[in-house]
Structure 1
Amino acid sequence: MRFILKALVAGCLTLGATGGAISGPAKTAAGQTGRTVLQMIGGSAEHTTFAAMMEASGFARTLEGRGPFTVFAPVNAAFTALHPGTLDEYVSGVDRASLSRFVACHVIPGRVDMAALKRLYAIQGGPYMIGTLGGCYLRVSIRAGAVQLQDERGTAVSVLAPDVGRSNGEVQVIDKVLMPGN
Structure 2
Amino acid sequence: MFHKAFATAAAATLLAGAAHAQDVPMVGGAPMYPNMTIVENAVNSADHTTLIAAVQTAGLVETLAGEGPFTVFAPTNDAFAALPEGAVEALLQPANRERLTQILTCHVIGAEAFSDAIMGMIADDGGAHPVETLGGCTFTARMQNGMITIEDEQGRIATVTQADVDQSNGVIHVIDTVLLPPAS
TM, length-normalised to structure 1: 0.80
CA distance in 2, matches of 1:103, 1:51: 10
SS state of the match for residue 121, structure 1?
helix
Q: CA offset at residue 158 of structure 1?
A: 0.5
CA distance in 2, matches of 1:153, 1:85: 19
Q: Deviations over 1:83-136 (max 9, x none)?
A: 214446532221322221111011011110111111001111121211111111
Q: CA offset at residue 166 of structure 1?
A: 0.4
The 5 A counterparts of 1:33-182 are 33-87=34-88, 90-182=91-183
CA distance in 2, matches of 1:41, 1:152: 26
Q: In 2, are the aligned partners of 1:33 and 1:167 still within 8 Å (CA)? A: yes
Matched, 1:29 2:30: no
Between Structure 1 and Structure 2, the one with more helix by share is 2
CA distance in 2, matches of 1:76, 1:41: 12
Change over 3 Å in CA distance of 1:33–1:117 after alignment to 2: closer
1:18 corresponding residue in structure 2: none
Note the residue ranges of structure 1 that are not aligned, 5 or more in a row.
1-27
Q: In 2, are the aligned partners of 1:90 and 1:102 still within 8 Å (CA)? A: no
Amino acid at match of 2:64: L
SS state of the match for residue 173, structure 2?
strand
Aligned-residue sequence identity (percent) comes to 36
CA distance in 1, matches of 2:172, 2:34: 14
Runs of 4+ off more than 4 Å:
none
Q: Deviations over 1:124-179 (max 9, x none)?
A: 11212111111111111111222111111111110111000000000000111111
Change over 3 Å in CA distance of 1:124–1:33 after alignment to 2: closer
SS state of the match for residue 141, structure 2?
strand
SS state of the match for residue 95, structure 1?
helix
CA distance in 2, matches of 1:98, 1:35: 28
SS state of the match for residue 50, structure 2?
helix
What is the number of equivalent residue pairs in this alignment?
A: 155
TM, length-normalised to structure 2: 0.79
CA distance in 1, matches of 2:95, 2:107: 21
Q: Which has the larger radius of gyration?
A: 2
Note the residue ranges of structure 2 that are not aligned, 5 or more in a row.
1-22, 26-30
Q: Which stretch has the larger CA shift, 95-104 or 150-159?
A: 95-104
Change over 3 Å in CA distance of 1:33–1:145 after alignment to 2: closer
Q: In 2, are the aligned partners of 1:41 and 1:73 still within 8 Å (CA)? A: no
